[in-house]
Amino acid sequence: MAKIGITCYPTVGGSGVIATELGKLLAENGHEIHFVASQVPFRLNRVYPNIYYHEVEVSSYPVFQHPPYDLALAAKMADVINREELDILHVHYAMPHAVCAILAKQMCNRDVKIITTLHGTDITVLGIDTSLQEMIKFGIEQSDRVTAVSHSLVEQTQEMLHTDRSIDVIYNFVDEREYYRKSNQHLKDHYGIKDEDAVLIHISNFRKVKRVPDVIQTFAQVRSERPAKLLLVGDGPEYSACYQLVQDLGLDEDVLFLGKQENVSDLLSIADLKLLLSEKESFGLVLLEAMACGVPSIGTNIGGIPEVIDHGETGYIAELGNIEQTAYFANKILADKDHHHQMSERAKTVVQDKFATATILNEYEELYRQVLADE
Ligand code: GMT
C-alpha cells in the first residue's frame, strides 16, 4: 500500500471531483491519502478512514501585493512529503500544481514520485498565454508520469507545448453508487413539469467557453416543436446574460434557472436530454454523469467530447455553433420513444464498459505501481 499526496483545486469543478473521488476510492483500497489543498475539497464532506487533509495557509503581508499561494503550497507539500513519508504526490493541473510539486521535491530529501494529471483548462487556456507556456512545459516534463483525461488533450498538449513527452490517457469516471437513474416524480411535480414535457438539461459553471446561449437558442427551436422545459444548473460569469436572453426570447415560463446544485444525479434522473455545446472541453465529465443516469446527450465536435459521446449510439455530435443541426438532433431523439430508450440503455452500458470506476481505479493503481518500480 502506498502513501499518496493529492493536490487539486478544491472548489466545484470536474478536476476537483475526479481528484477527490479517486482519493476516496484509493483510501477504500487501503492506501493512505493526504490531500494538500487550500480548502477541504467539496466532495470530502465527512470523515473517511485513511484520508487526511493538510491545509495550505497563505499569509498576506503588506509587502506582498499578491499573496504567494504557489510558494505556500510548495512549502506545505514539502512539509507533508517529509513528515508523512509520501511515496507519490499526484497533482491535478500542471499550473501551478506540478510546478509546486517539483519545487517541493527539490526541497525534500525523499525520492517522492510526481504524477501530474492534465484536465484541460491549463492547456487549452493557459497554454495560449506564451508567458506561462514554458512553465507548464517544465511542469509536465519534470513530472515522473503525466496523464490526461482524453486523447484529444494529449494531442493538444503535445502540439501546443511542442513536446513529445509521453502522456498516458486515463479517462474520467463517475461513482456508480451515486449516479444512476432514480425515480423522482416529486421533483417533476415540484418544478411544475408535466408528463408530456420533454426535459432538457445543461450543467456548467457558465463560463463563456460553455456557450450557454447556444443551449438556450437550441431549446427555443425544440420548444417550438413540442412542450418542453430546460433546466439550467450552475452559476458563473454568463448567468445574467443567459437570464436576459431567456426573457428576450419569451421563454421564462419554460426555462428553470436552478443555480448551483450538489445532487445533480437527482436532476439528471428527471431529464430526457443533456446538452453540452462548449467550444473547449477536454472531456466533459457532466456527459458521463448524464449517461450513467440514462440520459442521451448532444455535444459539440470539440476536444474530448467525441470520445465520450458515441455519435448515433448514446447521443449525437453537432458542429460548434450550429443551432439548426443541434435542434434537429434533439428533436430526432425526443420524437421517437424507442430511439430515446435505446440511446438511454446504451449510454448506461457504455459507462459500465468504457468508464467503469473499477477499471479507471485499476489504471491509476497500475501507474502508481510502475512509477514506484522505476529507478
Ligand atoms: O470545465 C471547466 O470549466 C472546469 C474544469 C475543471 O477544472 O474542473 O474542467 C476540466 O476538467 C474536467 C475533469 O477532467 C473535464 O471534464 C472538463 O472537460 C475540463 N474542462 C475543459 O477542458 C474546459
Pocket test for ligand 1, best of 22, 174, 211, 282 (most atoms within 8 A of CB): 282
Of the chain, the percentage scoring pLDDT greater than 90 comes to: 84
C-alpha distances in angstroms, 341 versus 49, 235, 271, 314, 344? Answer: 40, 31, 13, 10, 5
How many Å apart are CA 142 and CA 216, to the nearest integer? 43
Average pLDDT over residues 30-38: 97
Q: How far is the CA of 118 from the centre of ligand 1 (A)?
A: 10
Beta bridge partners of 314: none
Q: Kindly provide the ipTM of the predicted complex, given to two decimals.
A: 0.98
What is the number of the ligand 1 atom nearest to the C-alpha of 304? Answer: 18
Whether the pLDDT of residue 64 is over 80: the answer is no
Please state, as a whole number, how many other Cβ atoms lie within 10 Å of the Cβ of residue 255: 24
In this predicted structure, the answer to whether residue 216 has a pLDDT above a threshold of 80 is yes
Quick one: cell of 199? 426535459
Q: Is the CB of 172 under 6 A from ligand 1?
A: yes
Is the CB of residue 134 less than 8 Å from the CB of residue 171? no
d(CA 89, CA 333): 44
Tell which residue, 351, 330, 325, has the closest CA to residue 180.
351
Asked whether 285 lines ligand 1 (CB < 6 A), one says yes
**Which strands form 88-92's sheet, in the order they lie side by side?**
51-55, 32-37, 3-7, 88-92, 113-118, 145-148, 168-169
DSSP per residue, 215-248: HHHHHHHHHTTS-EEEEEE---TTHHHHHHHHHH
Distance CA 265, CA 187 (A): 12
Q: Is the CB of 119 under 6 A from ligand 1?
A: yes
pTM for the predicted model, two decimal places: 0.94
pLDDT of residue 187 exceeding 80: yes
- Ligand 1 atom nearest to 15, measured from its CA: 8
**Span 93-98, mean pLDDT?**
91
Q: Contact, 94 vs 136, CB < 8 A? A: yes
174 CA to centre of ligand 1 in angstroms: 14
142 lines ligand 1 (CB under 6 A): no
Q: Which residues of 204-320 form beta strands (DSSP E)? A: 228-233, 255-259, 273-276, 297-300, 315-318
Q: Does ligand 1 have an atom closer than 6 angstroms to the CB of 300? A: no
Three cell numbers, residue 43: 466532495
- State whether residue 14 is helix, strand or coil: helix
Does residue 188 have a pLDDT over 70? yes
Euclidean distance between CA atoms 39 and 55, whole angstroms: 6
Distance 355 CA to ligand 1 centre (A): 17
14 CA: nearest ligand 1 atom: 8
Report the atom number in ligand 1 closest to the C-alpha of 172: 14
Nearest CA among 312, 307, 321 for reference residue 343: 312
Task: Specify the CATH number of the domain 185-354.
Answer: 3.40.50.2000
Cα-Cα end-to-end distance for the chain: 18
Domain ranges of the chain: 3-173+356-373, 185-354
Full strand arrangement of the beta sheet holding 273-276: 255-259, 228-233, 198-203, 273-276, 297-300, 315-318
Query: Class of the 3-173+356-373 domain?
Result: alpha beta
**Mean per-residue pLDDT over the chain, rounded:** 94
Say how far apart CA 283 and CA 289 lie, in whole Å.
12
Mutational test site, ligand 1, from 283, 309, 355, 364, max ligand atoms within 8 Å of CB: 283
Distance 126 CA to ligand 1 centre (A): 13
For 251-280, the pLDDT digits (tens) are 999 999 999 998 899 999 999 999 999 999
Does 288 sit in the ligand 1 pocket, CB within 6 Å?
no
pLDDT value of residue 279: 95
**Whether the CB of 218 sits within 6 Å of ligand 1:** no
- Model confidence band, residue 131 (pLDDT cutoffs 50, 70, 90): confident
Q: What is the CA radius of gyration of the chain?
A: 21
